Structure 1
Amino acid sequence: MSISTRTSDLSSSAASRNSDLLENKHSKYFLFPQRYIFCLLASLIILNAASIQFTLEVIALENFSSGKRLRTNDTCTITPQIRRRPRRRPKNESLLNYDWDLKTRYLIKDSFYWGTLVTSIPGGVLSDEYGGKYIVSLSVLFSAFFNLVAPAIIDLGHSVGLIIMIRVGLGFCRGVLDAGLMALIARWAPVYERATITSVIFGSRLLGEQFSYVMHKAFENFTWRPMFYFFASVHLVLGFFWHLLVYPSPKQNPFMTLNEKRYLEEDPDLSLVDGWKKIPWRRILKSKPVWGLCCLHFATTWAWTVYRKTLHLYLPRVLKSEVVWESAWWTPFFLYYILAIFYGFVADWFVNGQHASVTAMRKVYALLGNFGPALCLIFVTFERCNHFTVMIFTTMALCLDAMHFASNMVNALDLTSNFVGIVTSITGAIEFLIFALSTQLINNLFTTEDSLSQWNFLLWFTCGVQVGGTTLFLLLGDAERQAWNYVIKGVN
């Protein structure tokens, strides 16, 4: 009796496995593997979310004079070889009706990041416990809603408080997005495609920022409202297809081809546990690799913040090279995204071919992607008013920084699959905090006069931060699965 029962159990389990490998009749209608569809939709959501994030920020800071006057002669002079284009005023004077001083405009800008800080950690917890699909869906839905009502709120008495509430609401939605996507990548990305998929998805963020500037330029002579409606509509469309085509895990997707199922099952993540599980907070917070990752993330985020300030403030205000930069505005950022994908592909190729370990690749990329830009920033200080070479070094720094996604961004996936949302939310909280404080720190502490000497000190300080944070990651960092990742469902 027991033998027959055991035989029936084995046959039923075998039948279950065979049924899992059956190909759905509708899978033939999909030209691309399901994981690539997930990757495409996720990258478009990140791109459009960045556009939504910067839409109001661009309007608040671009339609008005900076309000800051240079109080020093320690700047570059305008030479006959540099044709400085005067700042254009929009033909539509309604864009200039909002009487916001510089402090208020920066408050509107930074309030977004304070909102992200509130939901970052809770978003990571919910993503790990209940899956990332619906976290992302809610983020997309409410982001579109806040962006749709933003024009009406702005016109409602021009209340700065209401505008800040909209920005904080958008921050709430944005704070959960990265953790939700990383929780899904842990389930959808094979081991040998992690760096590539992570780079494709999160590398699109920079393009989203630039699209907001392009839309601003396109509508500056008419009205700014279509910017909000356009990005909100795109977000709703993306949210619809996301909810329709993306599934919480490959096992739940009925449209996968047999070849893709077999490919994903070649090296499955046996430690992955879906559903509720007790979070080992103490072990995570005491983990040396997590601390090393946090140090690296702090360094790269601060360097990226200073780099953006260099483009928007140092080049036009100190070097007087606004036209030189705007003529090549798009090229470095497209190159950045292409290189980010290329770096991710190369990292996966080395790991897949067993030419290097995962830990070695993450640390090599961290070394090159941080020491290289730091060296470029030092060269910028030596070149002073040589606009052409400064442009060359800033572009080189941007290209090397594209290794960020294949090093510290994907490293959370290396350490854990069950708690990748939490680790991502911890590093994300560090990132959002730096973004929230950077404006006040840089403007009021480092560059009070916008002089060459002050900016040189800031760039040297940034170099030290990058070298220090990267060194700590090289000492503490790792890319092996941590012991606290292995849990039983509902049990620590």
Structure 2
Amino acid sequence: MQMDNQVPPKKVPTFCSLRYGLSFLLHFCNTIIMSQMICLNLTIVAMVNRTNPHGLPNTSTKELLDNIKNPVYNWSPEIQGVIFSSIFYGVLFTQVPVGYLSRIYSIKKMVGSALFLSSLLCLFIPLAAEIGVTFVITCRVVQGAAQGTVSAAQHAIWIKWSPPLERGRLTSVSLSGFLLGSFTALLATGFICQSLGWPMVFYIFGACGCALSLLWFVLFYDDPKDHPCMNISEKEYIATSLTQQVGSSRQSLPIKAMLKSLPLWAISFGTFAFQWTNNIMILFTPVFLDSKLHVSIKQNGLLSALPYLFAWMIGIIAGETADFLLSRNILSIVIIRKLFTTLGLLLPAFFYMCLCYLDSSFYGSIIFLVLANATGSFCLSGIIINVLDIAPRYYGFLKGVTNLIGMLGAVISSTLIGVILGQDPESSLFKTFYLIVAVNVISLIFCLVFIKAEIEDWAKEGQHTRL
């Protein structure tokens, strides 16, 4: 019998449901994870002594007391670069293994333990800095592995918790926490450093993460049917919605079929373009604000954080809109995925080109910059969630694979932008924007041709394709 002919129990109101509460819990977990990841990017300005050696005897009493509260270190720009990149190595190498293990082991234990470990290491960073730079780098690599575990393992949650008609809403709310975390870290870190000292940045974000991990262990259950606080109607609604999609997690992976799947390659290329653009946003926005708009450092920090706030709002609105269009049968699911992927890849390219060619005022430039950086969040309801449509039973593993490909886009764009920014400032602006347009448009064409939204044959319950 087809799912369309089944009559599920009465739908539980979304905002009063436990599954929506779970989405918000994940939202705040992701907010903390991202805050812990990027807060060092700003605190290192206060941690590094760029003028005098640490602890000179002719330092005034006030400066000496300040250094006790806010110790500074003689880290060269090369060492700082290693510290910045170290966390990404941990994240990079956990995506596929964690995606695979999420099919087998408890998501509750994996996410909760990894969040607690990341938070514990965040608390340890000021002490690690006192011991030596090697300890800081080691701490960041392990912290990256823990954060990569949280980001990769959480995708498997929606295999059992997300009804098909609510996937856009639930995943966009949870994933938008990464955007809010970026905004929070960029906005709060400077104020904390100035008023309380830079070590308090790590103590505050670390303590919040530890508290949140304990809350996670209390509130989350791997399977909705085991949750003691969920009412029967919601359990029945979720179970009936997923009748044809939740299978055995022990079945071997059909690697050969996955490699031949053009819809899966479309998701990979789309994720590559999304991460490419998003990473350039992180790297290039402060440079653009400084070189083109000539703002102060304080204004630069505030304006660099602003796009993340709008990206967070657009991500949530996109999820709500996608599910509304699907639940009202206004558009099919494949059209919705293609529509939001198009908006998420094409609009940033368009607004970046506007920055390049339109002679805008200060406020006009800020508006285009915010729109260029924020509209990429439409992808959260497009290509980013599409794996759950075509292969829900392998969602955790395949999200790890596509995330890995996306991170390769971030790594490559970082390298190219570093080279481009070392050239003439005027030409670097045009080249950076043209790269965004080229990567996004080419990836979008491939996505529009090959995106699908029905379960692939190799991902169905009756298939037993082996490695």
The answer, yes or no, to whether TM exceeds 0.5 is yes
- 8 Å CA contact 2:271–2:383 kept in 1: the answer is yes
Partner of 1:359: 334
- 8 Å CA contact 1:273–1:488 kept in 2: the answer is no
Cα distance, 1:91 vs structure 2? 10
Q: SS at 2:453's partner residue? A: coil
Task: Measure, in 2, the Cα distance between the counterparts of 1:250 and 1:451.
Answer: 54
Cα distance, 1:326 vs structure 2? 5.1
What code does the residue aligned with 2:100 have?
V
Partner of 2:438: 464
Please say which of residues 477-486 and 384-393 is displaced more in the overlay: 384-393
- 8 Å CA contact 1:318–1:450 kept in 2: the answer is no
What code does the residue aligned with 1:398 have?
N
Partner of 1:171: 144
Distance 1:167 1:129, change over 3 A: same
- 8 Å CA contact 1:302–1:434 kept in 2: the answer is yes
What is the TM-score normalised by the length of structure 1?
0.83
Partner of 1:181: 154
Q: SS at 2:237's partner residue? A: helix
Deviations 1:256-275 (A, max 9, x none): 11231232244224231244
Percent of aligned pairs sharing the same letter: 23
Deviations 1:291-334 (A, max 9, x none): 10111111111111112223211211343134665565555433
Distance 1:449 1:99, change over 3 A: farther
Distance 1:193 1:147, change over 3 A: same
Task: Measure, in 2, the Cα distance between the counterparts of 1:332 and 1:142.
Answer: 30
Larger radius of gyration: 1
Partner of 1:395: 370
Equivalent of 1:202, from 166, 175, 178?
A: 175
Equivalent of 1:279, from 253, 261, 276?
A: 253
What code does the residue aligned with 2:142 have?
G
Deviations 1:172-207 (A, max 9, x none): 112222231110012111111100111100111122
Equivalent of 2:107, from 121, 132, 142?
A: 132
Distance 1:320 1:406, change over 3 A: same
Task: Measure, in 2, the Cα distance between the counterparts of 1:166 and 1:475.
Answer: 44
Partner of 1:426: 401
Partner of 1:232: 206
- 8 Å CA contact 1:296–1:473 kept in 2: the answer is yes
Deviations 1:227-258 (A, max 9, x none): 21221221121111211111111122122112
Deviations 1:331-350 (A, max 9, x none): 54333212211111111111
Cα distance, 1:455 vs structure 2? 1.5
Task: Measure, in 2, the Cα distance between the counterparts of 1:37 and 1:122.
Answer: 28
- 8 Å CA contact 2:163–2:241 kept in 1: the answer is yes
Please say which of residues 201-210 and 390-399 is displaced more in the overlay: 390-399
Distance 1:429 1:90, change over 3 A: farther
Equivalent of 1:341, from 316, 320, 326?
A: 316
- 8 Å CA contact 1:136–1:180 kept in 2: the answer is yes
Structure 2: 5+ residue stretches without partners: 1-8, 10-14, 52-62
Task: Measure, in 2, the Cα distance between the counterparts of 1:178 and 1:278.
Answer: 23
Task: Measure, in 2, the Cα distance between the counterparts of 1:388 and 1:64.
Answer: 33
Distance 1:248 1:374, change over 3 A: same
Q: SS at 2:128's partner residue? A: helix
- 8 Å CA contact 2:91–2:146 kept in 1: the answer is yes
Task: Measure, in 2, the Cα distance between the counterparts of 1:117 and 1:326.
Answer: 27
Distance 1:422 1:305, change over 3 A: same
Equivalent of 1:193, from 152, 159, 166?
A: 166
Once the two structures are superposed, the pairs formed by residues 129-168 of structure 1 within 5 Å of their partners are 129-156=104-131, 159-168=132-141
Distance 1:32 1:298, change over 3 A: same
Once the two structures are superposed, the pairs formed by residues 443-462 of structure 1 within 5 Å of their partners are 443=418, 445-449=419-423, 451-462=425-436
Partner of 2:229: 255
Q: Does 1:383 align with 2:358?
A: yes
Partner of 2:76: 101
Partner of 1:7: none
Partner of 1:368: 343
Task: Measure, in 1, the Cα distance between the counterparts of 2:302 and 2:103.
Answer: 44
Task: Measure, in 2, the Cα distance between the counterparts of 1:306 and 1:274.
Answer: 40
Q: Does 1:37 align with 2:21?
A: yes
Task: Measure, in 1, the Cα distance between the counterparts of 2:143 and 2:273.
Answer: 26
Task: Measure, in 2, the Cα distance between the counterparts of 1:441 and 1:61.
Answer: 24
Distance 1:223 1:239, change over 3 A: same
Task: Measure, in 2, the Cα distance between the counterparts of 1:481 and 1:66.
Answer: 56
Cα distance, 1:129 vs structure 2? 2.2
Q: SS at 2:392's partner residue? A: coil
Equivalent of 2:263, from 240, 264, 289?
A: 289
- 8 Å CA contact 2:94–2:145 kept in 1: the answer is yes
Task: Measure, in 2, the Cα distance between the counterparts of 1:188 and 1:244.
Answer: 17
- 8 Å CA contact 1:319–1:387 kept in 2: the answer is yes
Q: Does 1:319 align with 2:293?
A: yes
- 8 Å CA contact 1:34–1:256 kept in 2: the answer is yes
Task: Measure, in 2, the Cα distance between the counterparts of 1:450 and 1:269.
Answer: 58
Cα distance, 1:378 vs structure 2? 0.7
Cα distance, 1:161 vs structure 2? 1.9
What code does the residue aligned with 2:400 have?
S
Partner of 2:36: 52
Distance 1:243 1:326, change over 3 A: closer
Structure 1: 5+ residue stretches without partners: 1-20, 22-30, 68-88
Task: Measure, in 2, the Cα distance between the counterparts of 1:384 and 1:104.
Answer: 39
Q: RMSD across aligned C-alpha pairs, in angstroms?
A: 2.6
Task: Measure, in 1, the Cα distance between the counterparts of 2:453 and 2:50.
Answer: 45
- 8 Å CA contact 1:57–1:108 kept in 2: the answer is no
Distance 1:319 1:383, change over 3 A: farther
Task: Measure, in 2, the Cα distance between the counterparts of 1:152 and 1:110.
Answer: 20
Task: Measure, in 1, the Cα distance between the counterparts of 2:176 and 2:302.
Answer: 23
